[in-house]
Structure 1
Amino acid sequence: MCSLLQTNLLLIILLYFYFSYAVSSHVFPFCQLQGQFHLNGMHKSGDVVLGGLFPIHFFRSVPHLSFTSKPQQPTCHGFYELGFRLAQTMLFAIDEINRNSNLLPNVTLGYTFYDNCVELGIAFRAALSLVSGQEEKIILDDTCVGNPPVIGIVGDSSSTPSIAISSVLGFLYFSQVSYFATCSCLSGRQKYPSFFRTIPSDAFQVHAMINILKHFGWTWAGLLVSDDDYGFHAARALQSELSLSGEICLAYIEVLPWDKDTDEVRRIVNVMKKSTARVVIVFAHESRMIKLMEEVLRQNVTGLQWMASEAWTSATVLQTPQLMPYLGGTLGIAIRRGEIPGFREFLLQIRPDLYHNNSYGNSMNCIFSLYTEFLDISNLRSEYNVYKAVYAFAHSLDDMLYCKPGKGPFSEHSCATLQSLKPWQLVYYLERMNFTTPFGDQVSFDENGDALPIYDVMNWLWLPDGSTKVQNVGEPPRSVCSESCPPGTHMVRRKGEPECCFDCIPCSEGTFTNKSSNYLSFNSLGCTSCPEDFWSNSQRDYCVPKKTEFLSYHDPLGICLTATSLLGTFICAVVLGIFIYHRKTPIIRANNSELSFQLLLSLKLCFLCSLLFIGRPMMWTCQLRHAAFGISFVLCVSCILVKTMVVLAVFKASKPGGGASLKWFGPMQQRGTVLVFTSIQAAICTTWLVSSSPTPHKNTQYHNNKIVYECAVGSTVCFSVLLGYIGVLAFLSFLIAFLVRNLPDSFNEAKLITFSMLIFCAVWVAFVPAYISSPGNHADAVEAFAILASSFGLLVALFGPKCYIILIRPELNTRKALMGRDIVWKKNYDSE
């Protein structure tokens, strides 16, 4: 029946649009409505207009269709106090939002709502009018295209109209948030992609009812359902759950008719009367229950335990002294009761005379008579759902307005705007909407568009004084076996137990969940990996930026290395000053002063280049650090090598026939040799930088929750060649100095060079394995330490004894003392 109805409706809509297009294309130069619906409603303009569908009346009169004259449209009558208050709830929520400077600032929210008269056809007409408008003519550059008058619809109140409306609006991805449609069939996201609701699905209500039956040990029950989608799907869900449990059986299943079929109602009551089942479960609206109870009262059927669905568990029309002997003790599943601060004051401002002679017609007397119940806000249930539905739209729009251009969720990271809002864009934000009401309830939608399943268990009491009372006796659990998993955990099902039984396991490091989850969302909610540069917090419910690590100037190790580097630079400067001041003394002139000055300057550069290994790696520091280090040390070792070669040449020249060797080691040759050796290293560094330059690198291999900033060497071959070249020069210097270490006298520069090269080679031989095995910023610290240690070794070994003579033993710093003690120093002195 449901599918046939939907098919007919879709066929009518398609034919309607086809003939509208044909007429407008061939007869008129503009689009024209083929007719208007006469609907009861109210409108208030705004920057954004929200639609609503409410049951202001609950009877309708459908005229006879003869098609010999223009068909008359149906009329509505029978004022419905609750439906009118539902509409006022929407108006109150919109007024509250417009006065809230923190929600939708600088945006005025308007409304258009219509009366659905609890009738599918009227509700469908009203929905189409909300989406397309009712203007007589629509002229939009001959395209008949434009923004819909409303951005979304709050409603409908019943399942069957919601199914029909959503079947059409789903094609347009037009948002619809119902406050009372509970049919589990509406949870199908493929069929109803833009349908949401602030009331739980019947699937959850069925779970709650079965729990109550089990609690009291009731294993034999009857089932009554209304002949609509709400009743049929509830019966199907209940039968499915009972067949799985195998503990409870249904004695009968009867369908309550909508029309006044007295005979059918009498038959159903006879079945109930004859059955041994004393528990009766009813999924029907209060209008069906009124007809049923009239027959129950007539036949005096007592001794039944009634279980009410949320559709009639709060129906005051049934809580009368005549019916309470039959309905007393009824247990019902009620939707969540809430509180709306300021709502009663808003209702007190309504003047019934303003509605006289308006679209509500002859409802004036009804409006005057409803005040005692109309102002009672102690039991806000469906009204609370309307309130949440309006705020769901408001928070979704507010989230959309905070979108930053270039960081949006849509194509090319664009954002939606109120001026160009597409229906599917609002659906995106509704799916992710999450807020908390003043009453303290969290409002969000799961993957099916359903609300959190929270119910109140109600008990109808018949007091001794003849009055009635409906009180809350508890809240059913949200799941059959296990509570929902909190944020930061994920579900792991227990083997051999029902699918609703699971354990909550904390998310692993680097993953998170920020939503609660239950077994209904098992396939959609799990732990999500954090982005590349983020890591999960200790609670695993959100991601935080990863900690960064590098050899910083603020770390103790960085401070020590920086201080050591500056100290070595300062000592070099002091030694250079001493040598310059005493440059004419014999000990300076006898030791090749020009190479000594070059050596001190190169040592200065060696000390300073260690600073490039401290601080956050950047492109220029990564490229410069190894080039500066390689060239500085080659310049230093080249000077030492040339010094060693000069010592060897002078020694040979002191022997008979060896004078010719000195002509190859004059000042020009010494400078040229140093320049050639240094140029080779410069060529190696240039090749390295051009072919595979070192670059900054974010390394996460050492620590998952930490980013280690380091310089990737680029080419390990070039790095090895750079170190190898320095090692070759150092080894040659050491070898030559070692060969001439036993020159005459106990004090000569060959011994100092031998000792300094021994220290230098020992430091760098130990550096290679230490550098390879050190992770992250420790590798930079090891290299900086090796630079400083080898530089201090050369400085102390080569210049310490000379400074000692110059400053402490000046009597040894004479030509006579030097020439008398060492023939080699005499030759050097003469060459100066």
Structure 2
Amino acid sequence: MLNQLFLLLLPPVSCKAETTKCPMKDPLPVPHEWYQPGDVLVGGIVSQICYHLHEIDFSGHPAQELYKDPYMVTKFHQHVLALVFAVKEINKNPRILPNVTLGFHIYDSYNDMRMTYRTTLDLLYKLHRYFPNYECDAHKNLIAVIGGISSDISFHISHLLSLYKIPQLSYGSFGPEKRRGKQSPSFYRIGPNEAYQNKGIIRLLLHFQWKWVGLFAEDNNSGEHFLKVLEPLLSQNGICLAFIHRVPSGYHWNFSDDIKDLLLDIYKPFRDSKANTFMFYGDPEAFMAFNVFMFLANPQFKEITSFRKVWIMAAQVDFALTSLQRAWDFQFFQGTIFFTIQSNEILGFQSFLKETKPYGEEGNGFLKDFWEQAFDCVYSNPEESMNISETCTGVERLETLPGHLFELHMTGHSHSIYNAVHAVANALHAIHTSRSNHRALQDGQGVELHNLQPWQVHPFLQGVSFNNSGGESLSFNAEREMEAGLDVMNLVTFPNKSFYQIKIGKVNPNTPEGQEFIIDEKMIVWQTSFNQMSALSLCSNYCNPGSLKKIKEGEKFCCYDCVPCPEGKISDQIDMDDCIKCLSDQYPTKNQDGCIPKTISFLSFEEPLGISLTSMAFSLALITTIVLGTFIKHKDTPIVKANNWDITYILLIALLLCFLSSLLFLGQPTKVTCFLRQSAFSIIFSVAVSCVLAKTITVVVAFMATRPGSSMWKWVGKRLSNSVVLSCSFVQAGMCVMWLATSPPFPDVDTLSLTEEIILECNEGSVLMFYIVLGYMGLLSIISLIVAFLARKLPDSFNEAKFITFSMLIFCSVWLSFVPTYLSTKGKSMVAVEVFSILASGAGLLGCIFSPKCYIIILRPELNTREKVTRRKY
């Protein structure tokens, strides 16, 4: 017969044991064992929590010992039954290991380091009883180990098994801690990587905006590792730990005088009214230790306001109590959100549990102890039980037990054990298949199962892939981990000390980034004091939109004051670290909590200012046309002829075009209007000013030519005036052509000058050319003013120079005041200033130069005679 040994390490189930002497310094109890023979024998070690409880008074002094015998955690007996169920399921399936019957062998490690090493050594070397027709333990050919639930137990076992390259499958959920350098290549993980849980915790805290949370962590290496990994993640996501408190990891306490200080130290965090969210990380024994502290704080289980918190539990925690604590409940943890190893219901498992009876399995030493302590009954010796109420009948039903003593639903850890058994069985199936197909293995020869060595299992176990009866597809990745997910659960407690677990979400590592965490907030049942609403857990209240956070000196970054945003910036969300500027086409609201789209601004024809300027432009253009018509009509009169009538016509036409060119500045800027308006205005005005200068020079030359012996008479005439007009205008036109050829104006948008408006304007292209053109026009004006001022008192009967002096004085005044006004205004006001300057300066020329002539032509025609015009005045 085939003789294989399959080692299994499981969580706490029984502490009752025989005591024998051993080679160690202190005698240790021999583990309680359970044999089930088979062609392939399955053996194991049960990772157990054993403890003694002592009654203490509130002064901290120990009182009498309540019970001397250790008590089991009955809830964890499901882990053993999950193993049994998996083995039986495999044995009933002829497609996995045909003609091979699996058995199992379970040990109890007592969750003690020395006991773990002792049990592992016993498994490796010690011979046990002989079963007829089976060669059990004769060769100790160990194939694989499953266990344990905690990281400490798992790594203690790994220290020994790695020496022999024996595969070890751990079913607990804990971080990839490094022990003695690189992790053993014989170490496999069935439970999910703790990194997924850490991501789930962060996403959960961010979902409910819990930024000020407390942490209770087990006082061991696992707790230190968890804190080392989680704390940076919390900081990166803007979450602070209000406190970190260590929880003792065992029940082997010696109560002394300092117990009161220990209790008070644990209860300090509950006084922090700002921290309403607490996290708990630790193995089941640490959680049960924490329950003891909670019980000592409130033995009557009365409602304590300070205990009303939102609890977040890690997947390592299990809501379990010992049979001694059957009177306790989990009211303190109502509404707890906790993580569990993701699992689907395995078909037939609950029926298997319901059929389990204390007399149904021969050699099952655990089941009798479990039955007595779970149902508070006794079979033979009443002294071995606590508060015995009745004798065990064997017909008690597991479904009647409260959840903290036993569950019919397969827990996450039991599910991992079930998968671990199937993983090893499928690996053996692969080996069996390779033998049947005459495949070479390692040494080139087919390997029989009874000659199989543990190290030869690794290639098959590493590559195993199978579907369990729950419909899950399972395999190991390159890190020898099964990428299992996590379920997010909610604990609902009831007054009858029972509780119910509601699945409210999940953490799935195989989904795309950002979709790993899913939660249904509507399904959550909260602590009663929160009125079915998510609690606030903040060091400082939220900073409302319109303000930003200012960290308080000497405190954590979650503690801050709120200050208003600087002018011009906004914050549109709560708790912003810095205020932001609006987009260029938006501006802040009055409360600086949002942005408003800016309005489009340009000087349109439809608005009152645009209508006024348009009316003025057309009115002045009409007046100029009338004056031009009057002069044409009376072209033969002396007053028209005396002042170089062709220059007069050019000046009137230039003024007419100046008034009309102002309309190019109104309306929405386009490529054509931007291209033309500045250059057209500057050229036309240069022509007008050149005409004025020509008329002034003509007066001066004419006066000088009348002096005896003067040679200036040859300059008198149209040639001089036309030369002045053409040369001055040509220079301006040349500069404008250069401007338009190199950097012409174009339509532009100004979003910065005004807070609430977007200005549609013409960008001048080259600002330098704009001011050169404007400066040249100013230079002509100043020259005209100086010449006219010098000629104002010439003794003509009708000296035009004095009127030109007034007109140029007005012209220069308008454009000198234009420059600072233009530079100090923005938007449509800037355009209005330039249009008004064009109209005002043109009107000054028109009024000062032509109004006296029109007065004589129209109202005083008797003065419009040759005698009157040519008569000199001295």
1:427 aligns with 2:513: yes
**CA distance 1:334–1:721, shift in 2 (3 Å):** same
Distance in 1, matches of 2:570 and 2:502, equals 35
Q: CA shift at 1:597, angstroms?
A: 1.8
1:173 matched to which residue of 2?
none
TM-score (norm 1): 0.50
Deviates more, 1:565-574 or 1:483-492: 483-492
Q: Does 1:493 align with 2:489?
A: no
Q: Distance in 2 between matches of 1:723 and 1:791?
A: 15
Contact 2:781 2:808 in 1 (8 A): yes
**Residue 580 in structure 1 maps to residue 632 in structure 2:** yes
In structure 2, how many angstroms separate the alpha carbons of the residues matched to 1:268 and 1:203? 38
2:800 alignment partner AA: E
| Counterpart code for 1:819 | R
- Aligned counterpart, 2:619: 567
Distance 1:472 1:669 in 2: 99
Q: Which residue of 2 aligns with 1:200?
A: 205
Aligned equivalents of 1:229, 1:486: Cα separation in 2: 40
Which residue pairs with 1:627 in the alignment? 679
Q: Secondary structure, in 3 states, of the residue corresponding to 1:491?
A: strand
Question: 1 CA distance for matches of 2:600 and 2:82?
Answer: 69
Q: What is the rounded CA distance, in whole Å, between the counterparts of 1:286 and 1:509 in structure 2? A: 50
What is the alpha-carbon root mean square deviation over aligned residues? 6.3
Q: CA deviation at 1:496?
A: 3.8
Task: Kindly provide the CA deviation profile for residues 365-406 of structure 1, in whole angstroms up to 9, marking residues without a partner as x.
Answer: 999x99xx99xx9979854446xx89xx9xxxxxxxxxxxxx
Deviation at 1:794, TM superposition (A): 0.6
Q: How does 1:259-408 map to 2 (within 5 A)?
A: 303=299, 309-310=311-312, 325-327=327-329, 330-332=332-334, 334-335=336-337, 360=347, 382-385=502-505
Structure 1 CA distance, aligned partners of 2:209 and 2:326?
28
The answer on whether the counterparts of 1:537 and 1:543 sit within 8 Å (CA) in structure 2 is yes
Task: Measure the CA separation in 1 of the matches of 2:797 and 2:562.
Answer: 81
Query: Does structure 1 conserve the Cα–Cα contact (< 8 Å) formed by 2:796 and 2:871?
Result: no
Q: Distance in 2 between matches of 1:597 and 1:437?
A: 87
User: Are positions 1:527 and 2:597 aligned together?
Assistant: no
Retained in 2: the 8 A contact 1:590–1:825?
A: no
Secondary structure in structure 2 of the residue aligned to 1:822: helix
| Contact preservation (8 Å) 2:218, 2:281 | no
Q: Count residues in correspondence.
A: 541
Give 1:685's aligned amino acid.
Answer: C
Of residues 845, 863, 866, the one that matches 1:794 is 845
Q: Normalized per residue, which structure has more helix?
A: 1
Distance 1:327-1:682 versus aligned 2 partners, 3 A rule: same
Contact 2:587 2:756 in 1 (8 A): yes
Measure how far apart 1:662 and its partner are: 5.6
Shift of 1:162: 10
- Paired position in structure 2 for 1:678: 729
- Residue 785, structure 1, aligned to residue 836, structure 2: yes
Structure 1 counterpart SS, 2:248 = strand
Q: Please say if residues 208 and 477 of structure 1, whose CA atoms lie closer than 8 Å, have aligned partners that are also in contact.
A: no
Q: Does 1:507 align with 2:565?
A: yes
Residues 662 and 472 of structure 1, relative CA distance in 2, 3 Å threshold: closer
Match of 2:696 in 1: 644
2:468 corresponding residue in structure 1: none
Distance apart, 1:323 and its partner CA: 7.5
1:498-521 Cα distance to aligned partner (Å, 9 max, x none): 54321122333444444434xxxx
1:692 Cα deviation after fit: 4.2
The offset of 1:683, in angstroms, is 0.7
**Aligned counterparts, 1:229-240, within 5 A:** 233=226
Given that 1:536 and 1:543 are in contact with CA atoms closer than 8 Å, whether structure 2 keeps it comes out as yes
Q: Which runs of 5+ in 2 are unaligned?
A: 1-79, 103-145, 149-170, 177-190, 268-277, 339-343, 355-398, 401-407, 410-489, 493-499
Amino acid at match of 2:866: M
The question of 1:456 aligning with 2:526 is answered yes
Contact 2:642 2:869 in 1 (8 A): no
Please give the residue correspondences for 1:653-802 in structure 2 after superposition, counting only pairs within 5 Å.
Answer: 664-667=715-718, 670-695=721-746, 702-703=753-754, 707-708=758-759, 710-711=761-762, 713-715=764-766, 717-744=768-795, 746-774=797-825, 777-802=828-853
Match of 1:12 in 2: none
Three-state SS of the structure 2 residue aligned to 1:427 is coil
Offset at residue 335 of structure 1 (A): 3.8
Measure, in 1, the Cα distance between the counterparts of 2:246 and 2:723: 108
Alignment correspondent of 2:474: none
Q: Displacement of 1:756 after TM fit? A: 1.8
1: CA distance, partners of 2:789 / 2:839: 24
The alpha-carbon distance between structure 1 residues 335 and 70, as it changes in their structure 2 partners (threshold 3 A), is: closer
Cα offset, 1:268, TM superposition: 6.2
For residue 249 of structure 2, the aligned residue among 226, 246, 253 is 253
Q: In structure 2, do the counterparts of structure 1 residues 686 and 161 end up closer, same or farther at CA, with 3 Å as the change threshold?
A: farther
Provide the rounded CA distance (Å) in 1 between the counterparts of 2:283 and 2:648: 110
Tell me how far 1:562 sits from its aligned partner.
3.0
Contact 1:642 1:673 (C-alpha < 8 Å) held by counterparts: yes
Aligned to 2:663: 611
Distance in 2 of aligned mates of 1:770 and 1:291: 79
Name the SS of the counterpart of 1:786 in structure 2.
helix
Contact 1:278 1:305 (8 Å CA) reproduced: no
Separation in 2, partners of 1:206, 1:743: 92
Q: CA deviation at 1:479?
A: 3.4
What is the DSSP-based 3-state SS (H/G/I as helix, E as strand, rest coil) of the residue aligned with 1:505? strand
- Per the alignment, in what secondary structure is the counterpart of residue 738 of structure 2? helix
Q: Deviation at 1:599? A: 1.0
- The answer for the alignment partner of 2:574 in structure 1 is 516
- Cross-structure match for 1:597: 649
Q: What is the distance in 2 between the residues matched to 1:670 and 1:657?
A: 23
Query: How far apart in 2 are the matches of 1:301 and 1:664?
Result: 120
Q: What SS does the corresponding residue of 2:527 show, helix, strand or coil? A: strand
Q: Name the CA shift for 1:801/1:233 in 2 (closer, same or farther; >3 Å).
A: same
Question: Using the alignment, how far apart are the partners of 1:721 and 1:610 within structure 2?
Answer: 20
Structure 2 CA distance for partners of 1:385 and 1:488, relative to 1, 3 Å: farther
Relative to structure 1, the CA distance from residue 196 to residue 578 in structure 2 (aligned partners, 3 Å threshold; closer, same or farther) is farther
Change (3 A) 1:616 1:163: farther
For 2:297 and 2:552, locate their aligned partners in 1 and report how far apart those are by CA, in whole Å.
46
Distance in 1 (CA, whole Å) between partners of 2:611 and 2:491 is 69
Structure 1 match to 2:109: none
TM-score (ref. length: structure 2): 0.48
Q: Tell me how far apart the structure 1 counterparts of residues 701 and 863 of structure 2 sit (CA, whole Å).
A: 25
Residue 42 of structure 1 corresponds to none
Change (3 A) 1:309 1:713: closer
Per the alignment, residue 132 of structure 1 pairs with: none
Contact 1:740 1:750 in 2 (8 A): yes
Q: CA deviation at 1:631?
A: 0.5
Residue 821 of structure 1 corresponds to 868
What code does the residue aligned with 1:758 have? Answer: L
Which residue of structure 2 aligns with residue 479 of structure 1?
537
What's the offset of the Cα at 1:483?
2.0
Report how far residue 200 of structure 1 moved: 3.4
Once residues 235 and 612 of structure 1 are traced to their aligned partners in structure 2, the CA distance between those partners, rounded to angstroms, is: 72
How far apart, in 1, do the equivalents of 2:721 and 2:206 lie? 94
Q: How does 1:137-176 map to 2 (within 5 A)?
A: none
Q: How many angstroms apart in 2 are the aligned matches of 1:721 and 1:196?
A: 69
> Do the aligned partners of residues 196 and 628 (structure 1) sit closer, same or farther apart at CA in structure 2, a change above 3 Å counting?
farther
- Residues in 2 aligned to 1:120 and 1:619: alpha-carbon distance in whole angstroms: 81
Q: Which runs of 5+ in 1 are unaligned?
A: 1-56, 76-118, 122-158, 165-179, 211-221, 255-266, 337-354, 394-422, 442-453, 459-470, 827-832
Question: 2: CA distance between counterparts of 1:236 and 1:683?
Answer: 75
CA contact (8 A) 1:695 1:711 kept: yes
